[in-house]
Structure 1
Amino acid sequence: MQITSPSHEPLAPWIRRHRERIDEALWSDGHVLFRGFDVGGLAGFEDCAGSACDALYRHYGDLPLASAGDNVYFATPYPKHLEIRFHNEASHTRSWPSRQLFFCLEPASEGGEWTLSDGRQVIERLPAQMLERFRELGLMYRRRFIRGLDTSWQQFFKVESLGELREKIGASGHGIDAISENDLTVSYRTHAVLRIPERGTEAWFNQILLHHPDALPAEVDAMLGRHFRRDQFPRTVFFGDGSPIPAEWVRTIDRVLVECSVRIPTEAHDVLLVNNLLMAHGRLPYSGNRQVRVALGDMREVAA
């Protein structure tokens, strides 16, 4: 759904007045694009996010905070000439946001569209045998934290020592293999398909295309291949029993997600509100100086 303000209304109070309508649109359409509103800069964006969510979240380790005192993050730092593949935010962890907001401060001079793929449609289009195997086995994500490469484990898990890390995540199903504090691997088993009981539905909900080696751009695959075996890449994903996900299955998943997707060109001051439970998101390659900020809210957690 797109909502446009011809009179440049302040967005945060508009959201508060129409919250019930927005909530329903997030379940029917999966997203709401606000265009032409007065967002009020970064402070105003946080107010908009707080108006669209019951509670914002500022402890997510995969995105850098834009300011230490705010609930706003920078968008994923990823090379502009590469596409960010479809994924549901934080679906590789034990807690994830129900809602995610994107604020376009400056659009790209070319490209950089937001992309969204409806996980309900993906469920309907994936081959039945494939879907049943993912339902049965789930996924195991394996993340290798190497100093100087990607986010540190201290930043991601918000701890300072290995002892704190083991205490924080050891009891929640995480495996920890620490060669040293500079080379540590964490594995975690979780779902590939998310059941949403209050809506009587389910959705494709994971980060296979961000973690599987066969989904990587060729140049990234080649660069990592010079330093690691493919099953030891810094980010990998397997079936929940540890067996490999076939490359042809990854290609099928990619194709179906694209078939179920829409592209949203960005304009300055656009705010995109996404139901993260239903919609995988991505970003197309771009040129120019694209500036986007992100907010997360209404966290959910794996049932005990």
Structure 2
Amino acid sequence: MSLASRLDHRLYARLAPRRATADPLPGLRWIDTPAGRVRVQDSGGSGPAVLLVPDGPCVIEHYADLVKRLAPRVRVLVADLPGFGFSAPGPRYDHQLRAGAEVLLALLDGLGIERAVLGLSCVNGYYGIAAASLAPQRVAHLLLAQTPGMAAMRDWTRRIVPRPIRIPLLGQLINFAQRRVVAEGWYKVALGRREDRTRFQQPADHALANGGCYCFASVVQGMQRARPDDPLLGPIAVPATLLWGESDRSHRHTDASSLRAHLPEVAIRVVEQAGHFPDLEAAEVYAAVLLKLLFPDEAT
């Protein structure tokens, strides 16, 4: 148990009374994992399963439009990973590759799902790759967004993330104290269209004002320990697609094709109108790509 992970746990444990009053969602479930209880929205149904994971500061509530587009054909699960949204981090959760992968697999187990498409973005994409390395039979497809190769992500972190955030304990304290400010600032940088800021900021700020978690510093520090040649990152042959938001200013100097170091056969599709969140900024494109993956023989 690291001091940083224990600090995050204690900081956010204090907000538990506020989280208890969170607005209910249809199909809301709580799944116990090694990293803590995880909040999941389950659309139900008998269609193929897709597990979507918000990239903080986004939360489950941001996914209402995408779920609406997919639910008639697909069983959609949207989960706030530990340390984000209303899923508080356990005291031992360090956000490293194996720990994040084990959370994803535990969610599939808890939901009774044998095999699913994993829809993940940014650093969460590495958890998906690691989960596919550990249990390839559980992953039908990796649908990633804004996840470059690990070496490129480390360069991105050095360029974009202020150094104090990368320092254990100090980073957690700054992140916690400034979580609402950090979230607002990140949307200003990451979104492709200025007019999208309000619809992204409002659900995130509502969650953070009511006990929501945003353990950005811990994710950054956890990923700093991951090596680009880590065996959990492959290369692996699981089917994979990457949607890349071309209007993401934070990744202006990032090469999307660097992901092929881990997923050599990944198909890459550039989404010009989207920034850092192609799944949400271009939900119609994301839904069309996903449905084509699941139902390839149907006419578009």
Q: What TM bracket, shorter-length normalisation?
A: under 0.3
Question: Which has the larger share of helix?
Answer: 2
Q: Normalising by structure 2, what TM-score?
A: 0.27
Instruction: Return the structure number with greater relative CO, CA threshold 8 A, min gap 6.
Output: 1
Task: Identify, as 1 or 2, the structure richer in strand.
Answer: 1
Q: Which has the larger Rg?
A: 1
